[in-house]
Amino acid sequence: MTSRIVPSSHYARLAGREIHWLDWPAAGPDPQVLIAWHGLARTGRDMDELAEHFAARGFRVICPDTIGRGLSEWSPLPDEEYRLAFYAQLAEALCDELALERVHWVGTSMGGAIGTVCAGGLVVPRMKARIASLVLNDNAPELAQAAIERIRAYAGNPPAFDTVSELETFFRGVYKPYGWLSDAQWRRLAETSTRRLPDGRVTPHYDPAMVRQFSTREDDYLIWPHYDAIEAPVLCLRGAESDLVLPEVVEAMRQRGPGAAGRLEVVEIQGCGHAPALNVPEQLECIEGFIRAAGR
């Protein structure tokens, strides 16, 4: 019977804030390193299936909780620190902390935008050379405004419920575009995304102030200059039903930056909107094939 790979949990002060991450050890010597960064209102535990898949195949996988999410510290300066430039600084500090000089990056939604800013090197120049490949999971250098407003509406006013079961039902509705998840995966998503309020009710596990990024920095996710500066190979996974990444934006990606240089691959994920959960073999094998080709 093959034993499961168990991650270790870590905390460190990065860019002045305590950040939490899981470190999945590689099953084998001399591993390549993969950073898997979650979406806007999520946590690093969303990457469990991806991390286990890659760890079993010889990769070391690092799954952070962004500041204000999961077990990482909430920012006392939300308007200054809940933004892509600061998240990129945290990513650089994490690589410094772990002495990582070359990494593959898989980012869902916001995690993809952080990866784009890092790989472009305009904000954190040293990260440009560190990123060997970049996977954008339903993320692009320009996002549909209507979808941003939809996300702001639910993320900026997180509901509270008497029970975790009710919160799980809420998650199943709002994250239905993720595609198929097993009952066990939905339960884990709920349990790893729950915090209890002073009145005893439960609510999603993030700082609601993080959504102010969209009002204080309205163009924070309009990041074409960063995309254009990327020299690493890029894989864009687009949920076929995504309302955030529009086909015309993907076409523009093909015409500039990594696309114009022949370093962009686009794969449409059927049965998903925003954003594929990266939890089924077809999605994981697609990412693995791309990363192994980039590694060569």
Q: Say if residue 3's pLDDT is above 80.
A: no
What tokens were used for 184?
């066990």
On whether the CB atoms of residues 138 and 276 are closer than 8 A, the answer is: yes
Give percent of the chain above pLDDT 90: 92
Q: Say if residue 225's pLDDT is above 70.
A: yes
Sorted by sequence, the CB contacts under 8 Å of residue 88 that are 6+ apart come out as: 114, 117, 118, 123, 124, 127
- List pLDDT tens digits, range 39-72: 999 999 999 999 999 999 999 999 999 999 999 9
Question: What pLDDT does residue 161 have?
Answer: 98
**Which domains are present in the chain?**
8-145+221-295 (3.40.50.1820)
What tokens were used for 272?
């998903």
Q: Is the pTM of this model over 0.95?
A: yes
Grade residue 38 by pLDDT with cuts at 50, 70 and 90.
Answer: very high
Question: What pLDDT does residue 29 have?
Answer: 85
Grade residue 30 by pLDDT with cuts at 50, 70 and 90.
Answer: confident
On whether the CB atoms of residues 33 and 100 are closer than 8 A, the answer is: yes
Question: What pLDDT does residue 156 have?
Answer: 87
Q: Say if residue 277's pLDDT is above 90.
A: yes
Question: What pLDDT does residue 2 have?
Answer: 53
**What is the C-alpha to C-alpha distance for residues 270 and 46, in angstroms, rounded to an integer?**
20
Token look-up 């990266």 returns: 278
On whether the CB atoms of residues 35 and 91 are closer than 8 A, the answer is: yes
**What is the C-alpha to C-alpha distance for residues 18 and 71, in angstroms, rounded to an integer?**
9
DSSP 4: P
Arithmetic mean of pLDDT, 273-278: 97
Arithmetic mean of pLDDT, 269-284: 97
Arithmetic mean of pLDDT, 190-205: 97
**What is the C-alpha to C-alpha distance for residues 14 and 75, in angstroms, rounded to an integer?**
12
- List pLDDT tens digits, range 129-166: 999 999 999 999 999 999 998 888 888 899 999 999 99
Q: Say if residue 192's pLDDT is above 60.
A: yes
Question: What pLDDT does residue 1 have?
Answer: 43
Grade residue 296 by pLDDT with cuts at 50, 70 and 90.
Answer: confident
- List pLDDT tens digits, range 115-130: 999 999 999 999 999 9
Distances (CA, A) of 181 to 8, 46, 213, 280: 24, 11, 29, 9
Total residues belonging to the chain: 296
